[in-house]
Amino acid sequence: MTDDSTITHEAFKQFERDKFSLVAQEYDRALAKLTGGIAVVTSQVDEAILDAVEAKSGIRLLDVACGTGWLSAAALQRQAIVTGLDFAEKMVAIARERCPQGSFYQGDAENLTFESGQFEAVVCSLGILHFPNPEKAIAESFRVLKPGGRYAFTCWTPPTRNPFMALILGSVQAYGSMDVDLPTGPPLFRFGDPTECEMVLSAGGFTQVSVRELPIKWTFSTPEDVMPKIIVSSARLGSMLAMQTDEQRRNIENAIIEGASKYATENGVEISASVMLAVGHKP
């Protein structure tokens, strides 16, 4: 368990809802542009997430914090019956356009409006770190699963195992301030720790819990591309970068450009990262 007494729950939720609605188009475009139409970050782990919940034809799958619907689209490719839910209206609108065969709703992962025991699979890709009360979101996912159903979530690993996060956060720490005026949110990397994933799923009633790390790659056209893309397409990281003073931002950007240059390849700048994939079964 972590101490969440400093998290400003409602203010943080409001920030997330507003910010992700604001960046929805750019979030989708930034991810899609990188590989000419494929959402680089999500798509690299989509199949592993769907395998973990045994997504296949005819199963009812709920995609919590579905964003712009890339994982839902991959589940639809497997002929699953897909429902998606996200807090941010604009994210939901893009998911609906991407996946006309799915059903998408605006809503809160911590207070699902679905009846209990409806889904064979619930997935949550890079959403859990955005919920002020992840235990509540996990309990809700457990509730809407049928007995025998499967749950899987992913979360970023911390900078010690994640060169991309090390580059961004290390540059802010060196040349700027981590202490910007944002509503206090849940720890970014809590579930980058496999023990923490196991504990939270077991405490939530899940059995056969397993956790593994999956490598992914962020690809940018040039080192100069990195910081502007993060600013326009993410919530907390982007706001933290945007809220530095002009001088701090210039210095951070120079550090990111210098660091990113070391990852230049003939296919662009490829910076490795990883996520934890945590899976549990509802008995």
Ligand X SMILES: C[S@@+](CC[C@H](N)C(=O)[O-])C[C@H]1O[C@@H](n2cnc3c(N)ncnc32)[C@H](O)[C@@H]1O
Q: What are phi and psi of 267, to 5 degrees?
A: -100, 10
- Nearest distance from C-beta of residue 27 to ligand X, angstroms: 7
Of 10 and 266, which has the nearer Cβ to ligand X?
10
The binder of ligand X chosen from 40, 76, 87, 281 (CB under 6 A): 87
Q: CA-CA distance, 46 to 140, in Å (whole number)?
A: 22
Of 187 and 224, which has the nearer Cβ to ligand X?
187
The binder of ligand X chosen from 22, 38, 81, 126 (CB under 6 A): 126
Does 255 engage in binding with ligand X (CB under 6 A)? no
Best CA proximity match to 218, nearest among 176, 172, 181, 166 = 166
Of 131 and 220, which has the nearer Cβ to ligand X?
131
- Nearest distance from C-beta of residue 245 to ligand X, angstroms: 26
From 53-61, 103-111, 142-150, 218-226, span contacting ligand X (CB under 6 A): 103-111
Q: For residue 34, give both structure tokens.
A: 């990188």
- Nearest distance from C-beta of residue 260 to ligand X, angstroms: 21
Report the residue closest to ligand X, judged by CB: 67
Q: CA-CA distance, 161 to 181, in Å (whole number)?
A: 27
Sites for ligand X among residues 41-80 (CB under 6 A): 42, 65-67, 70-71
| 147 Cβ contact partners less than 8 Å away, ≥ 6 residues apart | 117, 282, 283
94, 122 Cβ separation under 8 angstroms? no
Q: For residue 12, give both structure tokens.
A: 């943080």
Neighbours of 7 (CB within 10 A): 16
- Nearest distance from C-beta of residue 94 to ligand X, angstroms: 10
The amino acid sitting at 177 is S
The amino acid sitting at 192 is G
Binding positions for ligand X, rule: CB under 6 A? 13, 16, 20, 42, 65-67, 70-71, 86-88, 91, 108-110, 125-127, 130-131
